[in-house]
Each structure stands twice: as structure tokens, then as C-alpha cells.
Chains A and B, each alone.
Chain A
């Protein structure tokens, strides 16, 4: 026999009229429930409501579907850190994260960090932290997450934090310099307020 499922609380009804009466009585005023596969995401400060397929990775969603080019596919399998984005304050590998599991999360990419005027971007340019530049956004997001958590990192802590980011051009010595300088700028601007 055909049954009707309440989209708010999943109670089953035999007749559509009963479901309607139930919904009006119990759920009037509640926000409409999301259809299956629909997620809400805060991306670089903007609200998104997007229908995703269960097999989509967060990288596929951000890069291929939303057109933000910064999370790069380099290694193809969670070995290089180039696809790193910040989710709820933590640097994560977007290629190893399913988009459907990100409902309600807050995500930042390198574009968002640059648009917000974070000093890391300019110190990265100044210290030549990029050569081909393909892995650079993954370093920027990892570094931003570090500075959010640890505004005064030691060089050893920076190296540890960046240990999962591959750079085939070998820009490694420059990153701690840029991150330390950005940390100085951030602390000075906060001290001045």
C-alpha cells in the first residue's frame, strides 16, 4: 500500500490528507526541510544551498561545480595537501571529504582568504613562496588555519603544520618567512585596535 512520509519528522501516513493535517498541526512555522542531497554551506562568508550527489567530493563541488579554482588536484589521493580548504577552523583535504557530509559547515578557500585582505597573500608574494603556483593555495589555507589557531607560531610549528603540503618546485624555505611576517602584521594590527 502506498504510504506518505512526513518530510519534517518522517512519520508515515496512509492517506495524503492525514499527512497534510499532521503537517499543519505539528510543523506550521518550521522552515521547510531540505530535500535529500541538498546541503547548506557557508563558503567564503556566503550562504549556499546546493543539491549534491552522494559520491561528489567537496573538491568536486567547490572546484568543478562552483568554479572556485583554488583547491587543486595534484596527487589524486590525499597525499599532497594542494586541495586543502579550511572547514570549521580546521585545514582538511577537500579531495578526501564527501560534499554531502558538509551540510551546515563553514568553508574557506584561498580566494576567500585573499578577498578578505589577509596579509598572508601579500607576504607570500613578497617572499616568492610560489614558483609554478599550483600548490600555493593549499599552503595558504593551511597557513591561515595555523595562524587562526596559533597567532604566534614558532618556525618549527610552521614546518610541522606544512608537513603535508607537497611543493615540487621546492619553495619550502620561503613559507616560514612569509607566515612569520604575516603573523607579525596581524598581531600589530590587533594591538593597534
Chain B
């Protein structure tokens, strides 16, 4: 031992841990942006060994099922559970009027001034958002009782044995019906079915002045019916109490906020709760959020039932139960648009009438991405007898729908090429391109015209100049009508949300990202490891992530915060840079006379920048930084752990955060329409996305083609059908709700543009929610180009096409 000096990170201490800007490494992209990086989750998923919530079983666990309302609107008058309670194998029957659950409401808020607000659980401002209801507001609502039994079959049988006397009440399915003055009012005591929402009216400029300046003013109506996520894994939750400690395994994107919600609802100290987040079978934002009405209710019921049973309880949804809840874009829209003959849009006035819930009012993308100076958007929400709607890959659906409808109708009215109309109006908050150019120059971004690049690449790929034609004029040899459509946007705000993580370097020089994170399939873990590997100058094989443990203090963002990589890469990069500085500090002992700034890390070596031959293996340095050691004869250093936290901007308010959107995207879609049957076939989709910088190109492409098939489904075949006589959802299964199979998929081109103008780290922009949100409305202009008539009623099913053609 003798004269050995313990460094204890002298420099890092002097500077303070947070001074990562002191030496921003000049890294090379050895893994970032490279193809062929092996997916961390690949083997576990392909081999079936990945464990999802549905797969988790623990000794002694019971199975629970919830009663569902068979009526669209009904009240329980009398409920007899005695037969269910007497059934062998039934361990707990929890009734809506039991003291444990009575009056408990949903918790839909994880922060801000509206804490504990049930309306944010998707119940769209309905006051009656109780967890286990006495009165059902839609068919399929959790009502009456939850049963826990030795098997799922016994639990289901017990529910069948519960006798309920119902009082059936009137219901309404259509939002415009609901708003009629003489409509039955669904909420007792309310004046009408109009739900209050502070986003009701948006105005910028003066629309009347804009219409006066226009050469042409026209109006039209469009409609979007309900669809839903239909994710792969059916939700479930598993709760285990050990004395006062609670463990919860659940189908959730947000395990940590889920813990906060539970703690608030059931008064359990947060340090007594561990929430695990196993693999997640599809997410798409809906029904995987602990604040969503069905997941929040499921978690509470599971925890209470487990407490009452004194045994672990797993509550299971079946496929039908997963169908209650729509995407938040059930809307009827009335548009009035003013436009000059050269394609310049002078004013837009729109009125969007939503059913149940408005994800977004509809005008934001015209604000964020165009120079249209005069805008007015009225967004009304009507209560109807349907399950709460929610964000569903993604809440920008109404904004995208309105932008596509307006731009393509303008092009059609003027007989203009829609790509020219897009370029004519590209901008930001009423400002033109000169404003964006100025911003780019001032803020060190490359000055590139993203929309122009995206349009040019897409036009080439789809052979636009030869394929686009006057509407209704191209009959194919097979007798069908050919059509092609175009749209554009910047679908998602670049980056937002809060996340935290640590990067820990172990004694052998390998690194771990320590943070809980719910995987939703976008290959996030590999991309974080790519970032950390390049920041630390080590091979990506030397980096891993520990995402499952529920007792870390660190937690990374998952989608439905909507910014996975764009937020999380900031966090892991910063943590890696802190760890890097600790390594360099320790390394000074091996490089006499040099300062930290003279050193760098590469290929598992620390070396002198001016003389790369002078180097030491990374392992010789990290081996000293020990979390524990039992010998007294050697000296040790504190572990190498850098942690970081980062908060990003506010979505939908680009200018308020001082971050105008700089990247754009273009989409082209080709169809063949059979005018005899009304059937529409999508034959080709070309997506061009300026993603700023693709950290993992294969992953970006995966989101682009994957989103295409979901988008085509939403446009064409995915439809929720309610029985007008009973208000019952008729097609709550995957045979009658039609998602695309491999045989239904059109050719999907994926073109990546990388301008590095995104506000995420390395210039990134998100892409995961993008294409599925853009494609549905794009079918409209493609079908118009084929038959020369607007259908404007989505999904565009054959009956609607025939009706438009006057054949039905």
C-alpha cells in the first residue's frame, strides 16, 4: 500500500459532477447510424423466451375477472352474488358496494395542477368515473363485481352466476345526434351532452379578412369513424402483497408513474410498492398507460382483490374486453378554406365535432408547419354512449386529418399539383421559409429545405410526374380506376418528456444503462446502447441495459410520452459523458504530466490524444472502481456511475418552446378502385421521412413500413361497428375487426432523409407514431384521384365508394 494515492476523482469533484460540457467528446459514429447492429431483444423474442406480463405466474396466484355491462347505458337495481360466492374455487367476490371499492374513482393524472383528476383517464370530463360502477355509461364498462378464483374458468363461471336486475336507460351513439337541442342528456344534471374542454376555440389572425383576400372560398365536410389499437398482448395485472409491501406486474408503458397513481389512490407509501415492467406486447399509446381508464381500474381492482384474498391475484382481460376504447379521432369536420389562385392559402375556418374525447383539436399542424396567416378552429366534444377514447398512435390523428383534407381539397379545387400547394404554404406560425432559414442560421442548424428534399425523393420513387393524372381519368387494363395521392407534414413535435438513467461502468470495463424502461417494440435498448458505446469509445457488445427491475430510481420515457429515443438518448448520452469523465480522471495516474483534456477513450483504451501510442487498457483503470471489496491490502476507488435527468419541451407548442419544426415528411399512396364493387386496393405507399439522424436505420424503416400497414388498415378495413338498436359493439374480435395480414400488405417504400435538423440529440426526430397517423387520411385524395369524387368518410369501405358513385 504505502505511497499509493487514492485519486477519488479530484478533477471531477472540483468541477462538479454536472460539468459534462467541460469536455464534450468529439466522438465518431462507430455504431450510431450503422446497419447490422444486433438487436438486444431479438433472441429473447424470436425464441419465445421473452417474458410478457401475460406470461408471469407466481405460486398460489388466483385468477380474477371483472363483470362487464351488457347494456350501452344501464343501472344496477339489484345484484345477488350468493350463488357465485358458493361456487367451489371462488375465493373473493368484490362488489361495487363493498367498502373497499365503493366511491373509488379513476386516477388519470400523474402531475401538474390536475392531480387525481379522473377525467384524464379518458373519461372525457364525465364526473362518474368510478372504478367499479353501479351505472354503466357504455356497453363493456367494468361494473358490479370482480371475482377471484382458483382458475380463470371458475372466475368466469362465477360471473355468470351473479344475478343482476338492470334498469336500461337511453343511449346515443352519434355525436351530432347528441348535440341536437332535443337530445336525451346522458349526464344527470347536465344541460346538454356537450362536454366542457378548454381547447374549444383557437384563433389566429382574422379569417374573415383572409376570405376576402382569397380568389376562391370553398366548403366541405369530412368524417372519421372509430378504430382502435388492437395490440397483441391482452392486458393483465398481477399483484402480490407481502405484509404491507406490494408488488405489481402490469401491462404498462409507464411503470413508475403507475406506482404514483396507485399510491395516491390506495394510500400506500411509494417505498412499499415495486412495479415490474416485463416485455410489452404492443403498445401504441392506448390501454398500456396506468392513467388510462381500463388499465388504472384494472390495477386498483387487482391490488384490492389480492389484499382481500390474502393471495396473489392476476386479473385478465380477454380480447373482447380490450375492444372497449376508441382512438381519439371520432370526428365530423366542417371546413371553409380561402385560397389564392397560385395555391397560397389565406384562411381556414374549421369546426370539428368529436365523440367522447378530442385528442387534439385539429389546427396545430397548420400552426406549426404552415404560413397560413388566418386560422380558426372550433373543437366541440359531445358525450355519447361509447367507451372513453384515448391517444392511439397517435393523438395527432385529428391534426393530421385536417391538414391532409385541407391541402388536398385546395389542390383539387385549383387543379394544382398537391406537392406544389405544400411547398407554397410551408412555414411556421404564419411565417414563410425565410423565417425558418433565419432560425436555422442563428441556431447552428444546417440550412436545408426539408420539405423540398422529401417531396423530390418521394416523387422520384413513386414516378409522380408520370403517375399523377387528372381525377377519374385513368382506367387500368384490369378495368379498375387508378389513383394516386400525396400528403405532407411534420407529424410529431421533435422531443418532449422527462427521463432519467445511470451509466455504470463495471470493473471489467463493460457498461450498463441502469433504468427501468418498458419496451414497446421500437428497438429502444439497442439504440441507447449504440449511443453509450460511441460516447464511451467501447464496442456496442460491451454495453447493456437493465430495464426490468422496478426498484431503480431511474426511469426512461416510453411512447405515449411519444418521444422514446429523442428524449432518452439525451439522458443516456449525458450519463455516459459523466462516466467518461470519471474514467479519464482515474486514468491520470497512468499518464504522468497530462490533464484529463489530453486524454480520450477508444476501442477499450484510454490514450493520449497527441500521441495515441501512449495508451492503457480501459480495464486497468476501471478495475479499481469497486462497489465493494473485502481485502485491506489494495486500494479502491468509488464506482464509476454517471446519472442524469433531462426534461424536454412541450408538445404541440413549438414556438412557445422556441423550437420551430424544421424537418418535414412526404407520403404518396397509390390505389386501384373497382367501380363495380366499390373495393379499394392500396397497391403502393412511398414514405419519405426526414428523421434528422437515423441512429438505427433498420429500426426507423421498421416504424415506416409497420406504420404503413396499420395506417392502411385504419383507412380501409379497421372499423368499429355498433348496433344502432342496442348500442352494443358488434365486432369486438380479430376476425371481424380486420387488421392487415401479410397477404394484405401493399409495397411500402421507406426513404430516410437525414438533415440533422431535429431537436433531439444528434439532430434526431421521432418516427414511431408517424406513418400510421399520416396514412389514413391520405387514402382520401388517392381515391379522389381515381374516381374524381371525394368520399371523405373514413374508413373508406366499399359501400361508401358505391354511394359516392351514385350506385347505392
Q: Chain A: residues with CB nearer than 8 A to chain B?
A: 55, 63-64, 67-77, 79-80, 82, 109-111, 113-115, 120-121, 124-126, 128-137, 140, 159-160, 162-175
Whether B522 is near chain A, meaning CB under 8 Å from some CB there, is yes
**Is the Cβ of A128 less than 8 Å from the Cβ of B282?**
no
CA distance A111 to B48 in the complex (A): 6
Determine which of B43, B741, B748 lies in contact with A125 in the assembled complex, contact meaning CB atoms within 8 Å.
B43
Determine which of B41, B233, B699 lies in contact with A74 in the assembled complex, contact meaning CB atoms within 8 Å.
B233
**Is the Cβ of A130 less than 8 Å from the Cβ of B42?**
yes
Chain B contacts with A in 222-259, Cβ cutoff 8 A:
229-234
**Is the Cβ of A168 less than 8 Å from the Cβ of B282?**
yes
Which of B105-113, B132-140, B499-507, B702-710 participates in binding chain A?
B702-710
Which of B49-57, B576-584, B599-607 participates in binding chain A?
B49-57
- A–B complex contacts, Cβ < 8 Å, 12 sampled: A76-B318, A77-B735, A110-B48, A128-B702, A131-B523, A132-B231, A132-B283, A133-B279, A134-B233, A167-B742, A169-B232, A174-B702
**Is the Cβ of B55 less than 8 Å from the Cβ of A63?**
yes
Which residues from A are CB-within-8-Å of B215?
none
| CB-CB nearest in chain A for B698 | A128
CA distance A61 to B240 in the complex (A): 24
**Known A125-B43, A131-B522, A131-B702; contact A71-B741, beta-carbon cutoff 8 A:** no
Which residues from B are CB-within-8-Å of A140?
46-48
CA distance A126 to B735 in the complex (A): 31
**Is the Cβ of B232 less than 8 Å from the Cβ of A135?**
yes
Which residues from A are CB-within-8-Å of B522?
131
**Is the Cβ of A170 less than 8 Å from the Cβ of B41?**
no
Whether B520 is near chain A, meaning CB under 8 Å from some CB there, is yes
**Is the Cβ of B519 less than 8 Å from the Cβ of A132?**
yes
Q: Chain B: residues with CB nearer than 8 A to chain A?
A: 36, 38-39, 41-52, 54-55, 57, 153, 229-234, 279-284, 318-320, 519-523, 698-699, 702, 705-710, 733-735, 739-743, 745, 748
**Is the Cβ of B54 less than 8 Å from the Cβ of A73?**
yes
**Is the Cβ of B234 less than 8 Å from the Cβ of A76?**
yes
| CB-CB nearest in chain A for B52 | A134
**Known A168-B282, A170-B706; contact A163-B234, beta-carbon cutoff 8 A:** no
Interface centre among A55, A166, A167, A169 (most CB of B within 10 A): A169
In the A-B complex, the 7 residue pairs with the closest CB atoms? A70-B48, A133-B45, A134-B281, A125-B42, A170-B706, A132-B521, A114-B47
**Is the Cβ of A79 less than 8 Å from the Cβ of B735?**
yes
| CB-CB nearest in chain B for A163 | B743
| CB-CB nearest in chain A for B750 | A173
**Is the Cβ of A69 less than 8 Å from the Cβ of B38?**
no
**Is the Cβ of B283 less than 8 Å from the Cβ of A164?**
no
**Is the Cβ of A169 less than 8 Å from the Cβ of B45?**
no
**Min CB gap B399→A, angstroms:** 22
CA distance A180 to B48 in the complex (A): 21
Which residues from A are CB-within-8-Å of B231?
132, 168
Known: A167-B742, A168-B231. 7 other contacts (CB 8 A): A70-B48, A74-B233, A75-B733, A110-B47, A128-B523, A130-B42, A172-B742
| CB-CB nearest in chain B for A171 | B706
Determine which of A110, A124, A163 lies in contact with B42 in the assembled complex, contact meaning CB atoms within 8 Å.
A124
CA distance A109 to B49 in the complex (A): 11
CA distance A72 to B284 in the complex (A): 19
**Is the Cβ of A121 less than 8 Å from the Cβ of B46?**
yes
**Known A75-B319, A114-B46, A168-B230; contact A125-B38, beta-carbon cutoff 8 A:** yes
CA distance A88 to B45 in the complex (A): 24
CA distance A109 to B488 in the complex (A): 44
**Min CB gap B593→A, angstroms:** 47
**Known A67-B57, A73-B54, A74-B232; contact A125-B39, beta-carbon cutoff 8 A:** yes
Determine which of A82, A121, A174 lies in contact with B232 in the assembled complex, contact meaning CB atoms within 8 Å.
A82
| CB-CB nearest in chain A for B519 | A132
**Is the Cβ of A109 less than 8 Å from the Cβ of B48?**
yes
Determine which of A63, A75, A168 lies in contact with B710 in the assembled complex, contact meaning CB atoms within 8 Å.
A168
| CB-CB nearest in chain B for A162 | B742
Which residues from A are CB-within-8-Å of B748?
173
| CB-CB nearest in chain B for A134 | B281
**Min CB gap A73→B, angstroms:** 7
**Min CB gap A159→B, angstroms:** 5
**Known A63-B55, A114-B46; contact A166-B38, beta-carbon cutoff 8 A:** no
**Known A55-B153, A130-B41, A134-B52; contact A75-B734, beta-carbon cutoff 8 A:** yes
**Min CB gap B568→A, angstroms:** 17
**Is the Cβ of B741 less than 8 Å from the Cβ of A166?**
yes
CA distance A67 to B520 in the complex (A): 23
Which residues from B are CB-within-8-Å of A172?
705, 709, 740-742, 745
**Min CB gap B60→A, angstroms:** 15
Which residues from B are CB-within-8-Å of A72?
48, 52, 54, 232-233, 281
CA distance A169 to B772 in the complex (A): 10
**Min CB gap B137→A, angstroms:** 25
**Is the Cβ of B48 less than 8 Å from the Cβ of A76?**
no
| CB-CB nearest in chain B for A64 | B57
Which residues from A are CB-within-8-Å of B38?
125-126
**Is the Cβ of B741 less than 8 Å from the Cβ of A165?**
yes
CA distance A164 to B282 in the complex (A): 19
CA distance A162 to B36 in the complex (A): 25
**Known A79-B733, A165-B742, A168-B710; contact A130-B282, beta-carbon cutoff 8 A:** no
Which residues from B are CB-within-8-Å of A136?
45-46, 48
**Known A133-B521, A166-B734; contact A175-B742, beta-carbon cutoff 8 A:** yes
| CB-CB nearest in chain B for A81 | B741
Interface centre among A64, A129, A172 (most CB of B within 10 A): A172
CA distance A124 to B45 in the complex (A): 10
CA distance A136 to B519 in the complex (A): 15
Which residues from A are CB-within-8-Å of B41?
130, 133
Determine which of B49, B282, B699 lies in contact with A134 in the assembled complex, contact meaning CB atoms within 8 Å.
B282
**Is the Cβ of A70 less than 8 Å from the Cβ of B698?**
no
Determine which of A121, A132, A171 lies in contact with B47 in the assembled complex, contact meaning CB atoms within 8 Å.
A121
Which residues from A are CB-within-8-Å of B48?
68-72, 109-111, 114, 136-137, 140
Which residues from A are CB-within-8-Å of B705?
170, 172-173
Which residues from B are CB-within-8-Å of A124?
42, 46
CA distance A48 to B46 in the complex (A): 24
CA distance A137 to B233 in the complex (A): 13
Interface centre among B47, B51, B234, B710 (most CB of A within 10 A): B47
**Is the Cβ of B745 less than 8 Å from the Cβ of A70?**
no
Which residues from B are CB-within-8-Å of A159?
742-743
Which residues from A are CB-within-8-Å of B519?
132
Which residues from A are CB-within-8-Å of B708?
170
| CB-CB nearest in chain B for A120 | B46
**Min CB gap B685→A, angstroms:** 11
Which residues from A are CB-within-8-Å of B709?
170, 172
**Is the Cβ of B739 less than 8 Å from the Cβ of A168?**
yes
CA distance A192 to B710 in the complex (A): 43
**Is the Cβ of A114 less than 8 Å from the Cβ of B741?**
no
**Is the Cβ of B55 less than 8 Å from the Cβ of A69?**
yes
Which residues from B are CB-within-8-Å of A120?
46
**Min CB gap A66→B, angstroms:** 11
**Is the Cβ of A74 less than 8 Å from the Cβ of B281?**
yes
Interface centre among A63, A124, A128, A135 (most CB of B within 10 A): A128
**Min CB gap B675→A, angstroms:** 28
Which residues from B are CB-within-8-Å of A169?
232, 282, 521, 702, 706
CA distance A79 to B706 in the complex (A): 20
**Min CB gap A34→B, angstroms:** 24
CA distance A165 to B171 in the complex (A): 37
CA distance A113 to B748 in the complex (A): 31
**Min CB gap B453→A, angstroms:** 24
Determine which of B46, B57, B284, B702 lies in contact with A110 in the assembled complex, contact meaning CB atoms within 8 Å.
B46
**Is the Cβ of A69 less than 8 Å from the Cβ of B698?**
no
**Is the Cβ of B733 less than 8 Å from the Cβ of A76?**
yes
Which residues from A are CB-within-8-Å of B57?
64, 67
CA distance A64 to B56 in the complex (A): 9
| CB-CB nearest in chain A for B279 | A133
| CB-CB nearest in chain B for A55 | B153
